[in-house]
Amino acid sequence: MVTVNPPICNFGWKPPAFSLPSVDGSMVSLDDVKGENGTVVVFICNHCPYVQSIIDRIVRDANDLAGHGVSFVAICSNDADSYPEDSFDKMKDFAKAHNFSFHYLHDETQQVAKAWDAICTPDFFGFNKDMELQYRGRLDASNKQAAKGARRELYEAMLQVATTGKGPEDQISSMGCSIKWKDA
């Protein structure tokens, strides 16, 4: 397991469009998931211990943010041939087991992860209503161990984005396992 940290927010960056299959059987584009007051796109996978340790808090925050007009979507870009636990069928099981209220998309070609410069799982991208990047930080301070009373950094940042259109200037990058790239 290689632990990596993505770069801090490139404020105002506009994301490349995508259209990917969701575990619910539909094709989902970035426009389909755009929230009224903001959008969170997170790169995750099923087998990463960092993701496994925070997935219930990710789902909680996604549900809580929905009430503030902030939508949420997750993307798995890992090489499922080398990591079969991240296959599309296993993604369906993972989403169901954790009661995802949001789309879980499969980036089989890894083109979306590459276009977005996604680095790790989890890697959070928080956008304002104009789809300008305002947050690229962590969920909270807990990393792999749940820290009692840890500030809900993603949630608080996205509430600020929903209200003001701007993310916090001080952000701490996420930490996780590197995305498992296919051999070139």
Asked if the structure places residue 68 within a domain, the reply is yes
| pLDDT tens-digit map of 150-183 | 889 999 999 999 999 999 999 999 999 999 999 8
What pTM value is reported for the model?
A: 0.95
Using the predicted structure, report yes or no on whether residue 97 has a pLDDT greater than 70.
yes
C-alpha distance from residue 181 to each of 29, 131, 157 (Å): 22, 27, 30
CATH of the domain at 106: 3.40.30.10
**DSSP of 90-119, one letter per residue?**
HHHHHHHHTT-SSEEEE-TT-HHHHHHT--
Asked if the structure places residue 183 within a domain, the reply is no
C-alpha distance from residue 47 to each of 44, 66, 83, 157 (Å): 9, 26, 8, 27
Band the pLDDT of 147: cuts 50, 70, 90: low
Give the structural domain span for 18: 3-178
Asked if the structure places residue 184 within a domain, the reply is no
> Per the structure, how many domains does the chain have?
1
